[in-house]
Structure 1
């Protein structure tokens, strides 16, 4: 599978960043200390990575690998595992839309296990692949601010636990044709995390309703040991006390400031601010005007079905699917919250939310299904679909 590996070297492997085609293997195919034809006699000096079963960082499997490596008495052997985060967050399923305490705990615990099992026993460890599984479909499954928090925390965990990391990419992060990163801000965040911590916030967006009075809006800052220094819009520095207030780690944008920033309240992003800190990367805050999304009736087939949706400045977070008796509907039947992109996907340009064949074919025939769409502003929309053979009918009531 094609990809690009962004390597960050820690501890004994300190050296910098390397971008290379993922799947490129160096020194694999021969046991340490043996030579292949035309190898130039270099195999005895090569490093060899040994993975756990299917590269899983399960404690039992890592223990087995550590025992094997120690028994071979070869200083050139390296342990390797993969990590793609807490699964529900990594793919956006079961309502895990945020990099919350559970997702953070999973990350911290996994890296501690790598350190205690390998590094503490003198065994180098390489995280041979990491990322977010939702990115197999491209950006969107995981909200950008939540994604930035994940990569910031992962870089910090790798650095402090002395784990070398290799980013896996199937084309979502790096544009091979133009030879550049698609999200320069993400790259800066990742690279910064290798040397220091960056502050983040509970969200990277502040939503202002299209109509009605504009009110103060607050964000909780995750300072990560840094201190807040300034709030800016471009080159303009906002004034503390007049434009915003800071109480502890609570940043509040004043109603008058938001009124100025949203202007005529056109739907979508009206302004972009940056919260600066004593160290690390500034945190971007988008000021967004939204109105409650509106959907309309439609018909289609199990092969092609999209719900006409006027997003009106909002963005889709997740979708629930249930039958009339409250039981879960769809292929992910252990939760009512279906998987982003696998079951549904928004298309903001075409103003539609596509329900995938995999989702529709998993529904019971001639049985009404209630869909609840959750948007990042906090708004929700209720919709109903009924499948009859290959025909699908969608209604707002």
Structure 2
């Protein structure tokens, strides 16, 4: 993340157990049809296995006539499921699985071998398939057994427990060098140690505690398989021409890297805020920047050249360049990426084949940026490279501006379009992709309410699904807003549960997670839409009690309606706020929580103040603020972001539920003209309230309209 975004959001917010089993199926069969193999051999290996999941590698050797277009089929004997695949398109129907070629590996000559791999899920047992068919012809014989896991597949770590020991199983072996797709797949899912080693001037400067091995152990215990360590080096090295890295800082970085590797995590390190501190002057100081860049990466690469191949290098975070066009920025990014690859390879050791990760300009997922990066890959001819971009969603939704309060079609289309471009431009060419940072910019425990929780959950569910089905590895940006690093617990367990579920399956959601019931008026039926996401609705529960279909609720298609009788019972004494919580359960995935809330329309009062201190007295009465519009008398937008009447939540206005006010920020008044401004407050219940303020110099007065 760049400093610009950091300032904007204030700190934005083995691997696998088991041993290697080589399972061979050797066979000779009679040719059937022009595309059928006269004989085939399948090597099915399980190099990695852990509670609930595994990685498989499949080598298919054609022993007959050349094949142009192939289809390998098998049956999982223990109900396993494929969750992510590379070098093949894998589809399933129950336990029946079919892997077909992708565009670049359709042809298999006589005695030639094609390879693909996948991640899968399992429970109870992970017995290897008993046989395979290639283009409908059996590869006879049977693979051997899969090693038994050393940990019970049904046991999962407590989400809040603090680990006290290192993993009990030996570290897994990374995919062989030369298979970057398998390596990147093995890194899924990933987590960022954000605002820590990248903080300026030191590790704790941006509010996070010192990193411990217990933290890294906990991250691994929660299912993460890789960790990105953003590192800012510019405050920790000497002057030109040597730019010698401070020994204490380099040792601290190495300590954290070694801890993470010991916890069986893949690790990715980079140059982080260096991108805007000095590297952005590259176009006007090519020699100076190049020398510094070479000096730093040569020292870093030399320090780690003997480390495990599970350590990955990323050239630069969010490359950006001053006073350049985007096309010039693409060229500068390509030149620095190429220099990075050259000098790392030259340091020898494991660095000759280490996976190196290269970004687009700004780590953007725009098509023109991806095309530029793909062209750079073609020029490098290096078999051990991966691409990286960052993804923070549709900007109005990510920061709650311009009315972007919901996970709507704009958000969905932006997500799908970006991930499709990554798949079609890079993955389809054999270039694996790491989404090195992702989240929403304004999801932050220190600024609650900017992003409504249910809308955020829908975003998390969709990112997991669309990334998984496009073979994209994701690394969550966590600057402390997700994991409480002091207590080693998730700040919102339900958010983590949705994240975790999205790695392997879909979850059902709803059009809302809030049902508002009037505080005093007659209670009527309330309806919401179920987003089934291919699943089956199983019913409603309140705690351990199942609600009664037909009496408490009805379902017509995807419309769920809560009856007045059920709502009357659920709302209890009808005190303001959340009175009860129910959950919709589906055939799989995380249940969808629905809060039943009692409220009345909020009441606002007259106020006076200044442009530096103005707050509107507000009785929220159980409701919550969603957004605010500001317009002049002629209807034109007032205040900052004058292309929209909807202002930025928290940046321009902020509710204070404890004090009973809505604060209008100095940043809002900095761009408001003298005269009258009409404010329209939108609440999550659907209530809208109009309020008028008048500015005269630095003096502000206001009253309900």
TM-score with structure 1 setting the length: 0.94
* Structure 2, gaps ≥5 residues long: 1-5, 14-82, 86-181, 199-228, 231-267, 272-293, 307-348
1:294 shift after superposition: 0.3
Q: Is the 8 A contact 2:611 2:698 kept in 1?
A: yes
Question: Is the 8 Å Cα contact of residues 501 and 589 (structure 2) preserved in structure 1?
Answer: yes
**How far does the alpha carbon of each residue in 1:179-236 deviate from its partner, in whole angstroms, 9 at most, with x for none?**
2211110011011011000010000011111122111111100000001112011111
- Larger Rg computed on CA atoms: 2
- 1:284 deviates by 0.2
How far, CA to CA, are the matches of 1:142 and 1:302 in structure 2? Answer: 26
Q: Which one of 566, 571, 591 corresponds to residue 257 of structure 1?
A: 566
**Equivalent residue number for residue 305 of structure 2:** 39
1:99 to 397, 407, 425: 407
Aligned partner of 2:661 in structure 1 is: 352
- Shift in alpha-carbon separation, 1:384–1:38, aligned structure 2, 3 A: closer
Query: Residue 322 and residue 249 in structure 1: after superposition, are their counterparts in 2 closer, same or farther (change >3 A)?
Result: same
Partner of 1:187: 496
Where 1:198 maps in the other structure, the secondary structure is coil
What's the counterpart of residue 395 of structure 1?
A: 703
Match of 2:544 in 1: 235
SS at match of 1:368: strand
Within a 5 Å distance, the mapping from 1:165-314 to structure 2 comes to: 165-314=474-623
CA distance in 2, matches of 1:158, 1:276: 24
Contact 2:514 2:596 survives alignment (8 Å): yes
Query: 2:188, 2:410 → 1: CA distance?
Result: 31
SS of residue paired to 1:161: coil
Alignment of 1:138 onto 2:138: no
Tell me how far apart the structure 2 counterparts of residues 144 and 3 of structure 1 sit (CA, whole Å).
17
Q: Aligned equivalents of 1:351 and 1:10: distance in 2? A: 49
Residue 677 of structure 2, aligned match among 369, 375, 391: 369
- Shift in alpha-carbon separation, 1:326–1:19, aligned structure 2, 3 A: closer
> Are residues 28 and 349 of structure 1, via their aligned partners in 2, closer, same or farther at CA, if it must alter by over 3 Å?
closer
Change in 2 beyond 3 A, CA 1:104/1:16: closer
| C-alpha distance in 2 between matches for 1:156 and 1:381 | 38
Query: Which sits farther off after the overlay, 284-293 or 342-351?
Result: 342-351
Q: Within 5 A, what are the aligned runs for 1:78-93?
A: 78-93=386-401
Q: Secondary structure at the match of 1:229?
A: strand
C-alpha distance in structure 1 between counterparts of 2:548 and 2:691, whole Å? 44
Gaps of 5+ in 1: none
Shift of 1:19: 4.4
The answer as to whether partners of 2:193 and 2:478 remain within 8 angstroms in 1 is: no
Aligned to 1:21: 193
Cα distance change on mapping 1:172 and 1:327 into 2, 3 Å: same
The question of 1:127 aligning with 2:393 is answered no
SS at match of 2:424: helix
Number of positions where the alignment pairs a residue of Structure 1 with one of Structure 2: 391
* Higher RCO (CA-CA < 8 Å; seq separation 6+): 1
